[in-house]
Amino acid sequence: MTPEIGYAATIVAFGLALYGSIASAIAGRTGRRPLVASSERAAVGVLVLVTACMLLLIYAFLTFDFSVRYVAINTNRGTPFYYRITGLWGALEGSIILWTWMLALYTLIVVVQYRRRHPEFYPWVLSAMMGIAAFFLLVMTIPAPPFERLTPVPPDGRGLNPLLQDSGMITHPVALYLGFTGFTVPFAFALAALATGRIGDEWITITRRWTVIAWYFLALGLLIGGWWSYHVLGWGGYWAWDPVENAAVLPWLTGTALLHSVMIQERRRMLKIWNLTLVILTFSLTIFGTFLTRSGIIGSVHAFTQGTIGAFFLGFLALVLLTSFSLLAWRMDRLKAQGELDSIFSRESVFLLNNVFLVAAAFTVFFGTIFPLLSEAVRGVKVSVGAPFFNLVNIPLFLGLLILMGVGPLIAWRRASADNLRRNFLMPTAVGVAAAVIARALGIANSLVLLCIAAVVFVTGTIVLDFLRAVRARRRSGDGWAAATLGLLRRQNRRYGGFVVHLGILVVALGVAGSNAWSLHTETTLGRGESAELGGYRVRFDGLRASEESNHFKVTGTFTISSGVGSRDVLYPAKKFYAQEQNPIAYVDYRLGLIEDVYLVLGDFARDGSQATIKLQVNRMVSWLWLGGLVLTLGTGLAILPDRKKAA
Amino acid sequence: MSGSTRWGRWAIPLAAIPVIVLLAYGFRTDPRAIPTPLVGKPAAAFRLKTFDGPEISLEGLRGRVVVINFWASWCYPACYEEAPVLERGWRAYKDREVMLVGINIQDKEEPAKRFLAQFGHTFPNAPDPAGRVSVDYGVYGVPETFFIDRAGRIRAKHVGAVTDAIFSANVDRLLAERP
Amino acid sequence: MSHPPLTRLAAAALLVVMAALPALAAAPVNEDTVREIGTELRCVVCQNLSVADSPSETANQMRGIIRERLAAGETPEQVKAYFVEKYGLWVLLSPPKQGFNLLVWIVPFVGLGLGLVLVAFTVRRWSRRPAAVPAGIPEMDAATRDRIHREMADMDRS
């Protein structure tokens, strides 16, 4: 019964979403309020139905209902309990449900928040969001129905992909999708602005927080993805420039550009066309990312499957691009910048540069990702575009962005006088250069790392300088240090939240630079009792142990690591043999540290336990990436605090 | 301002079209299928010790049509599907100047021998322990089958399980050629 | 670990012999070079991982072949050419900088250049507009002006 109910719910939800979208649009055009109310009720209905679908599917998971094909593929009787719930989004159909559910939820939040406050935009925003939800529900109905029946009913399921049986899988898609779907709201508002002709700054002011939150979740999702790759996949890296990774970072790059360029529109009323373009592009890139992951046109470690679903997404992408940009072209006359500029040395210029670098990086990643396809289409020759290319082109851009991060917040609007430049940047520049010189003296020879260090110190210097000055200014009115600091953070939470986010990015940048420049690797075969040495650590192979787990057979190695300091630890890397997988899955064991991680992968081994091949890595600075994520969280939290009402 | 903008503004929506077309083209390609540059080139020499004991080398097979099949015991289901096909093909052609050699890659001896016993293979099979032969033939997955003519050139490569039709079509074609 | 003296002697002798063997075969292999070449080659069974990074058995074997060929005296270029001969250009993790493939190397920089030109153009367009000075700015009283100057001076001093 469950599959039938679920399928019916999907179809009804699709109908409601389609109805709501059309009704809302008509309401927007003609002003008929009852249609809006009706559409709101449809939105509620959609959320209820999609939630029901989710719960039905989870119920099927929990009760081992193998008559549902999705359940049979993604779970088996040995799957642990929590993976039977979170495994919901472990494969294609479930991931679509998750996305649709978030969309429905966001739509309802939009309903609650904006129905009274912005009556002119509201019907169009609702229409756009329900239209997008309708598309995803259509996908759930036709190419990717989650409730397809399986006959005959198998006695046991296949099981969740072992690589996904990890905490990263539980959180990574959720964070990532919160980010992707979050960008739907600013996009819907942009469409509403274009449709109503109210293309002033309203839509930006309203959606500012949505953009920040969506950006944050996307960043978080990317970092969790990196963490998952690092501790599960066994290669000791966190980013491979895999096509699907690239597809997720594209909207993040343009989203970052958007976050900054809206500030120019808010303060100076410029860049209106550009901001609309950016938000359309960012949303389109989220659809493009989904398309890439699910269409199978580019091979990737993430790619789910093929079939007709790719065609659906491509069609939708085409619809989105053509409609939105045509609307923009139609309204372009009305979008004139109203501000002026006196000098190229101004915050406006710096923000423009920031946008250029970010969009150039996005374009590079995009072009590199589809170039194999282009090469095959034009010449019939298959080529690969991988890490060497992306690193080469993107590193200078990112270094440039780091430096801009320090210049932007402090340089004056419109025109920075020589005085302003000196006051704000002389000290940080000097300190940055000094830091690079000291690093060089300490033996760091890699020029990219030195540049990175200089940039990081420079930016930190500007942040500290600005912060101290501001605190001191507040202190003059009598506050103590603590009160002045807290008051400042609260009053100007957007600015200082932004600074903290910048600091988070700096931490991540140091992690990336350090891990690439200073990590050590070795691969060797050890007999029992033998040791390998790397980076001051000695790893001794003590033996192998076999065990039977709930859904796999496991061979665990015991390795004792000792460092010069005398501390000892034992690592248990393993190889897991799952019945449904062809190749064994490596289970990495590691010890994390602030400066370095010891990372051990078990390779080949002799049956009798006398020998084992290991891949040993001492990865430096990787933990800084995760720490940076923590700082990002703090900064974003600070930045989105509600504005305090100014005292009368 | 109005002249160029009037026309130029539509450039952006129009620019989306070639991108969409390119992505649509992607549906016709298979990212997992790597075309081999080796067809028409001389097949790489190898000398391997079979599971039964005697050595086998490509040189010793010059003058015959040679079919090389790369397989592994963990390659499920494809290798299991094509195993009977290969044995049938071998029995049909072995008296007609055709040689079939199975090369076992990235496998352990026990499971490989079990696989051979399960299907009762009577043609020579040899392990390729360091992967040299598989890389020499540009192998990127299993199963892969190469058809080599009497002059020692690779004439066809089939990725995935072979069928009786594919096997005989290729062997017949190469047999028909005079050396 | 402790070994009896005789075993240690035997081990030392073995080491000496083993050290001599590669010299008979030719060049000693630098593991860093193997790794470097590995980062430029694509592991043929993985998705987008390099031969150096991939933990798969295939990558392991490919690394072994790289090591072997370097030991036999081949240059890194020759080793890479061998893999290209067997797998096609696809096995290189980034396309060679020639012919059609130059496009992927050039287009990003061209894009960046265009972007910078656009920015310069925009900045100029914004700067050419005469600033509209609002009429009727109220006069500031002396006390306020002094206070502003004092606080600015304070900030400059700190």
Region of poorest pLDDT, from A186-190, A263-267, B6-10 = B6-10
Choose among C100, C123, C156: nearest Cβ to A341: C123
Q: pLDDT class for A535, splitting at 50, 70, 90?
A: confident
Domain range holding B131?
Answer: 38-176
Supply the pLDDT for residue C153.
67
Would you say residue A140 has pLDDT above 50?
A: yes
b/e burial code for range A427-437 (CB count within 10 A of at least 16 → b): ebbebbeebbe
Would you say residue A15 has pLDDT above 70?
A: yes
**B119-124: long-range pairs with CB below 8 Å, 24+:** B119/B83, B119/B84, B119/B87, B120/B87, B121/B83, B121/B86, B121/B87, B121/B90, B122/B87, B122/B90, B122/B91, B123/B86, B123/B87, B123/B90, B123/B94, B123/B99, B124/B50, B124/B52, B124/B54, B124/B56, B124/B100
For residue A321, which residues of chain B lie inside 8 Å, CB to CB?
A: 13, 16, 20
Region of poorest pLDDT, from A58-72, A294-308, A534-548 = A294-308
Smallest CA–CA distance, residue C12 to chain B, in Å, is 28
Tokens for A121, please give them: 């935009």
Would you say residue A258 has pLDDT above 90?
A: yes
Specify the amino acid at residue A442: L
Residue ranges of E strands in A475-567: 520-527, 531-534, 537-548, 552-563
Give domain status of residue B58, yes or no. yes
Give domain status of residue B108, yes or no. yes
Supply the pLDDT for residue A359.
95
Give domain status of residue B25, yes or no. no
Q: pLDDT class for C133, splitting at 50, 70, 90?
A: low
ipTM score assigned to the predicted complex: 0.86
Give domain status of residue B29, yes or no. no
Mean pLDDT of all residues belonging to chain A: 89
CA–CA distance, C56 with C24 (Å, rounded to integer): 31
Choose among B5, B23, B76: nearest Cβ to A314: B23
For testing contact with chain A, the best of B1, B27, B79 (most A CBs within 10 A): B27
E strand or H helix at B57: strand B55-57
Report DSSP letters for A162-191, one per residue: GGG-SHHHHHHHHHHHHHHHHTHHHHHHHH
Supply the pLDDT for residue A302.
53
Rounded mean pLDDT of A389-406? 93
Would you say residue B117 has pLDDT above 70?
A: yes
Q: Is the C-alpha dihedral spanning C143, C149, C151, C154 positive or negative?
A: negative
* Residue-wise pLDDT tens digits, A265-312: 888 888 888 999 999 999 999 999 999 888 777 765 555 555 688 889
Contact in structure between A106 and A180 (CB atoms under 8 Å):
no
Q: pLDDT class for A626, splitting at 50, 70, 90?
A: very high
DSSP state, C139? Answer: P
Region of poorest pLDDT, from B4-8, B92-96, C95-99 = B4-8
Query: Residue B161: which CATH number?
Result: 3.40.30.10
Supply the pLDDT for residue B109.
86
- Beginning with the edge strand found earlier in the chain, give each strand of the sheet holding A520-527 in spatial order: A520-527, A611-620, A596-605, A589-591
For residue A604, which residues of chain C lie inside 8 Å, CB to CB?
A: 57
CA–CA distance, A110 with A43 (Å, rounded to integer): 10
Are A332 and B10 an interchain contact pair (Cβ–Cβ within 8 Å)?
no
Confirm or reject contact between B76 and chain A (CB < 8 A).
yes
Rounded mean pLDDT of A597-609? 86
Give domain status of residue B11, yes or no. no
Are B130 and C45 an interchain contact pair (Cβ–Cβ within 8 Å)?
no
Rounded mean pLDDT of B144-173? 92
Give domain status of residue B12, yes or no. no
Give domain status of residue B94, yes or no. yes
* Residue-wise pLDDT tens digits, A448-493: 999 999 999 999 999 999 999 988 888 888 778 888 888 888 888 9
Q: pLDDT class for C1, splitting at 50, 70, 90?
A: very low
Supply the pLDDT for residue C9.
54
CA–CA distance, A277 with A515 (Å, rounded to integer): 36
Rounded mean pLDDT of A230-248? 90
Mean pLDDT of all residues belonging to chain B: 88
Q: pLDDT class for A648, splitting at 50, 70, 90?
A: very low
Residue in the block written with tokens 């575009």:
A385
Residue pairs between chains B and C whose CB atoms are closer than 8 Å: 43
Smallest CA–CA distance, residue B159 to chain A, in Å, is 17
Tokens for A479, please give them: 């506050």
Contact in structure between A281 and B12 (CB atoms under 8 Å):
no
Give domain status of residue B16, yes or no. no
Are B23 and A297 an interchain contact pair (Cβ–Cβ within 8 Å)?
yes
Would you say residue A360 has pLDDT above 60?
A: yes
Supply the pLDDT for residue C25.
46
- Count up the domains in chain B and report the number: 1
